[in-house]
Structure formats: C-alpha cells, structure tokens
A and B are shown apart, each in its own frame.
Chain A
Amino acid sequence: MTQLSMAQALNAALRDAVKDDDRVVILGEDVGALGGVFRITDGIAADFGDDRCFDTPLAESGIVGFAVGMAMGGFRPVVELQFDAFAYPAFEQITSHVAKMRNRTRGAVALPMVIRIPYAGGIGGVEHHCDSSEAFYTHTPGLRVVTPGSAQDAYDLLRDAIDSADPVVFMEPKNRYWTKESVSFSRDSAPMDQAVVRRPGRDVTLIAYGPMVATALETAEAATAEGWDVEVVDLRSLSPFDDVTVSASVRRTGRAVVVHEAAGFGGYGAEIVARVTEQCFHYLHAPVLRVTGLDIPYPPPKLERHQLPHVDRILDTIARLQWQDQPVVASA
C-alpha cells in the first residue's frame, strides 16, 4: 500500500498499462512534456518514449477520430480530453463512431480505447471547466462510462478500462485529484461493472458516484447525529448500471437518495430513480429523491457553492424521507 493522490494513482495506472501492453498509447493535448494540465501523464513520455505518450494538435474531434483509426490499426489508445466542456467538439466522433463501430461492423471491428475526461466542479474553475457531462455519454449505447470516487478506484478502474474490449469514457472527478489515500496495485477490487457499498447502513441508501462519493460519506457521518444510519453506494460504473448492488441496498434500507453534481432535469439521477422505483417499489417507504446540481449553466467560481450538493442539502433531503410520518426503522 502506498499513499497516493488520485492524480498519482491514475499516473501509476497509465504507467503500468503502458509497461504491460505494447499496444497501449497515450495521446492528447499537453500529455507529453507537460505531463497533462493535471499532471496525470507526468513523466510517461520521458520514461517510455514519445511513441507511447505523445502530444497531438489541439483538436478534440481530431484526437478522438485519430484514435479510432489507431484502434482499428491494432493499438489501444488512451486519449485525454483536457476538460469536460472542451470534449464537446469530439462528441460526434464519440457518439457516431467510437460507440458504434462494433455494431456497425457486426463485430468485425472493435474499438478498445479509453477517453479520459476530467469533469465536474469544486475547483474554482472558470466557465467551460466544470461541466458534469456524464448523461450525454451514458445515453449512448455502445459506450461504457465509469468514474472513480477514490484513488484506489482510480487505479483499478483505469486499468480495467484500458483492458476493456469496449470503448470506455473515463470521467475523472477533478476535485478529488489531490486527495491522498492508501493505494494497492494488486487489482483485487470489484470488476469494472460493479457498484460497491462504501459504508453500510440500515435506514437509507445514498447513491453517489465520482466527486459525490466523498460528500455522501461525509453526509453519512453527519447523519448519525440525526439518528440516521446511512448506507453509501458508490456506482463506479454509470454504464452499465449495476441494478443488483443498488437494488439489494435499497431493499435493505427502504429509502434512497441519489446525489450528483450534474443538473437534475433529464439527468443521470432520473435513470437511477426510475430503475430503483421499478425494482424496489414494494420495499420503499418513501419516494426516491434526488439531490443534484441546479438546472442552470454551471455558475462562475464565486457562486459555485450554491450549485454543488453539500452535506446540509443532502441531510435535508434525507429528512424528507419520513414520508407520512413513518418512523425510521430498519426494514426487512
């Protein structure tokens, strides 16, 4: 076990993948000498050579489209799209080609590639640097979408994503980049498709992912003072969605709150609520509620604290789960 920040864990995952598999190449804007604007690719070009980690022209569609061709040519490209909202020029390549090549060619051409997108807010970034764009990608069949909530998961999920036979949109929560944790490189974590119960509890399930996992855990601690025993499920994989782990948790607790930073309307949380309602209806003591970002364009840095779900807002929502004044008890 080594103490690493999430950024360092991602760097370690990339290094190990490049070392273990000749086909793995890292490309994008600034990934070479600079090591990425967040230093995720720090030192990789220097240690493994320019042909394994290289800078491209500044053109997001170009980076992804070029990587499609490289994947067709037998490589496993890992591309970095510098910020969430700067990934939009590549949206057509991602949705029309990366997601569909296997299907278009009836299995003859697969595109094992990873598209890394630093996303979400909480870092005081200016306009276009803090979007939560996960719903665009999860709504696209053919893509896998994963997001780590911890340094350990960052390592494990990125290794799995690079090994995946399918293209993976890998969403990195920027505000967690600098959080240090013990990280093991043994790769004995849950498989990439699987959600994980981060904290067991009896009364309510908080469903979170990426940047909100830490907030959910913090909320769970605070909730004990209110008499709530909160379970936290970290989804890890947004697509596919792990109905089994989530449903099992909600059936145990009978109450659920979904937390994410992205705008709520038409957002990923709506999908979770629908699935939980369909599968756990008779176990529920209250409607499944959401705590999401506001339905506004991402605000300027000095106002972003109003956008981001925070502990008090989540606690207030948990309090609303005492539907019809039902007592808070453990359910069967």
Chain B
Amino acid sequence: MVVAMPRKNPAELLPSATPVRFVAEDASAVDEHDGYAEPPGDRLRKAYRLMVIGRRFDTQATALTKQGRLAVYPSSSGQEACQIGCAMALGPADWLFPTYRDSVALVARGVAAPEVLTLLRGDAHCGYDPAAVRVAPQCTPLATQTLHATGLAYALRRRGEDAVVMALAGDGATSEGDFHEALNFAAVCDAPVVFFVQNNGYAISVPLEKQTAAPALAYKGIGYGVRSEQVDGNDAVAVLSVLDAAVAYARAGHGPVLVEAHTYRIDAHTNADDASRYRDPAEVQRWRAADPVRRLEKHLLERELLSAEEVERFRADAEQYAADVRAALNTEPSLDPLSLFDNVYARPTRLLTAQRAQVAAELKEES
C-alpha cells in the first residue's frame, strides 16, 4: 500500500457549516455555495430530464409491486437530485457501487430498466454485467460495498486507469463498521473513491437522531483524514456541483471524499413497510414542499434555461419510458432452474453436478 501522505490540515477536510445550496425551496437562487460553481445550463436541463424520468420510473416500479410483478421495491422518491447527481458526476470509465435503494441512479447511469429490476423482480441477483456497465451489483447488506469500492478504486489507480469509484450509502449504513473501515482504508491508501451518503432521515424506522450524535454525517470523514462536504440533497444544482467537484478532486489524485446529502424518502422504506407508524404526516408534507424535481423545474423555468414545451416533452418521454418498463415487466421471464448450478464455482463440483441431475429429473417429471 502506498505510504501515507503527509497529514492533512483538518481545516481543509471540514464540511461547510451548512449544506451547500444554490436553489432555495421556493426555487429562488441563494448564495450558500461558497467556492462551488453552478453547473452549465445544458447539464442542469439534462439533470431535470433524468429526474423526471427517474420519478416516473419510481412510481411505475411501486405500481408494479402492487400488481405482484416485483417482489419488493424500495422507493427513492424525493431523492431524485441525489440519484441523478451521482450518475451524472461519473464518466464512462468510472464505477458506481449502489445499494438496493439506488435503482433510479442505475437508470440514470444508463442500465436498462428491466435489468435494473431483475433483482427486485426475483429473477436473478443482478440483471446486468457489472463490468460492462461499470456498476457493481446493487448491495443489500449495509455498507459492505463501500469496502469493495475502495479496493477497486485502489486497484484501478495502481493499474494506471483514470477512474473514480462512487460508493453510495444511506444514513443507517454510516453506523456500520464497514463504512468506517472503508473511509479509513481509502484515506490511508489515497484511493480515488467518493462516498456519497444519502441521508434520507430514516433507517427503516429509526430516525437520524437515534442513529448518530454527530453534528452531521459529513463530519464522519474528518477523523479518517477524508475531505468531507454536506449538501442540500433536494437541490439538484448543488448536488451536481458538489459531486462534480468531489469526483474531480478524487480524479486529480487527492484521495477520497465524503459527501452527505440531506434529503428525505417520501415513501416508506419499501412497499412492505408502514411509515405512518414512525413518521408524522406533517413532516412528510413539509418535505413534499421541498420536492427536488419541482424545485429544479421552477428554477430552470424562471431562469429560462428550460421551456414549458420542454417540460411537456420530458414528461411525455417519461410516460413512454414507464410504458416500456411496464411492457417489459409484464412479460413472463424465462428462467432456467438448472442455471442455479452454473456459477457457484468456476466449474461445478461433483456435489453440484449430482444435485443438478436431481433437479433436471424433477423438472422432467413435472413437464
């Protein structure tokens, strides 16, 4: 492992005192973004379009659980600025390490929707080839993937590849040991990895105040020597700006970055969860008013970076996208039970060969 760099100055690692913000909840511009540049208009328009599609994908997936087409769906409604921001900040050679809640980020990264939903539909654990799309399998254990992201970032840098790895985590995951081990490893070996925490207020039912006593989750980077930042996670302009800067910082060889986005999950943990047992409806209403999609839309319209026609067109695109997702998910998948034995080991063991024959015989009997 590369010899540790000279100790960093703590002041350079500290996050801003309040979350970085460009656009207030009423869509007016605010100057709470010291040192960060506003992304160009075409980039913001692209973000808006992806957010509209992402929101529609999310409502479509939730609807598919009600129809029994998906086994489960963890909604990220309300987190679109984060979901789109992390995907847009990465280049084609970079890697994304998502969690189960980050399906919209995968869609924004360009993974085909049916492949994204393969896991949640119950067809296979991962519907896409991670190496081909540079997206790790969506991780269900908490924070374990942050270590994989760190190891891969280190490996890619050692191979001379100009690639950054983005590891996604929720607020609950920041309490897991692996999250802390990953920050520590990344800092010690100077790995180009961006830890992006979407603090949506709850780990299933446990609110943030019972999760941590830290001033903000962003402060968790300091102790490890990791540069940290916090951002308004419902302000797409700010999320893009901060993540662009974080990726550039890591790419330039300065080491890892931790970004905490303050956001909110509007829906329950999954469709199987009853959020009314632990959340005040008034709180949800307050956060609905902070909706990231509407906020960006209004901001762009007011600044004439977006036209009413474009808004209509993007919504129509999103409807078409949802219709395609529906159509794809309404077809019955063709699953081969014998494929269960294919990828346990590089070559099946005797034991697996025997069990494969047993299942094959059972299938023959059934047919």
- Check A67 for interface membership: any CB of B closer than 8 A: yes
B345 touches A68 (CB 8 A): no
B153 touches A69 (CB 8 A): yes
Complex CA–CA separation, A100 to B140 (angstroms): 13
Q: Which of A50, A62, A68, A106 contacts B126 (CB 8 A)?
A: A106
A51 touches B158 (CB 8 A): yes
Chain B residues with CB below 8 A from A27, complex form: 1
Complex CA–CA separation, A300 to B350 (angstroms): 40
- Check B325 for interface membership: any CB of A closer than 8 A: no
Q: Which of B144, B149, B185, B188 contacts A96 (CB 8 A)?
A: B144
- Check A39 for interface membership: any CB of B closer than 8 A: no
Q: Report B157-183 residues with CB < 8 Å from chain A CB.
A: 158-159, 177-178, 181-182
Q: Report B109-149 residues with CB < 8 Å from chain A CB.
A: 124-126, 129-132, 136-137, 141, 144, 146-149
Complex CA–CA separation, A71 to B349 (angstroms): 22
B1 touches A50 (CB 8 A): yes
A59 touches B144 (CB 8 A): no
B130 touches A109 (CB 8 A): yes
A104 touches B144 (CB 8 A): no
- Check B245 for interface membership: any CB of A closer than 8 A: no
Q: Which of B151, B188, B351 contacts A69 (CB 8 A)?
A: B151
A30 to nearest B CB, angstroms? 13
Nearest CB to that of B347 among chain A residues? A165
Complex CA–CA separation, A115 to B133 (angstroms): 28
Chain A residues with CB below 8 A from B351, complex form: 240-241
Nearest CB to that of B119 among chain A residues? A104
Nearest CB to that of B95 among chain A residues? A72
A74 to nearest B CB, angstroms? 7
Interface size in chain A (residues, C-beta < 8 A): 49
Tell whether A68 pairs with B130 under 8 Å between CB atoms, given A73-B156, A103-B344, A243-B350: no
Complex CA–CA separation, A27 to B154 (angstroms): 13
A55 touches B148 (CB 8 A): no
Chain A residues with CB below 8 A from B263, complex form: none
Q: Which of B130, B156, B185 contacts A66 (CB 8 A)?
A: B185
Complex CA–CA separation, A169 to B52 (angstroms): 47
Chain B residues with CB below 8 A from A61, complex form: 147, 177-178, 181
Tell whether A144 pairs with B345 under 8 Å between CB atoms, given A56-B185, A61-B177, A105-B129: yes
Tell whether A66 pairs with B126 under 8 Å between CB atoms, given A56-B1, A92-B141: no
Chain A residues with CB below 8 A from B344, complex form: 102-103, 141-142
A57 touches B154 (CB 8 A): no
A69 touches B177 (CB 8 A): no
Nearest CB to that of B140 among chain A residues? A96
A323 to nearest B CB, angstroms? 29
Listed in ascending order, the chain A residues whose CB lies under 8 Å from chain B are 27, 50-51, 54-57, 59, 61-62, 64-75, 89, 92-93, 96-97, 100-110, 141-142, 144, 164-166, 193, 240-241, 243-244
A65-B182, A69-B151, A92-B144 are known; give 15 further A-B pairs, CB within 8 A. A51-B2, A56-B185, A57-B181, A69-B147, A69-B148, A69-B149, A70-B154, A72-B152, A75-B158, A92-B178, A103-B343, A107-B342, A108-B126, A166-B346, A240-B351
Listed in ascending order, the chain B residues whose CB lies under 8 Å from chain A are 1-3, 124-126, 129-132, 136-137, 141, 144, 146-156, 158-159, 177-178, 181-182, 184-185, 188, 339, 342-347, 349-351
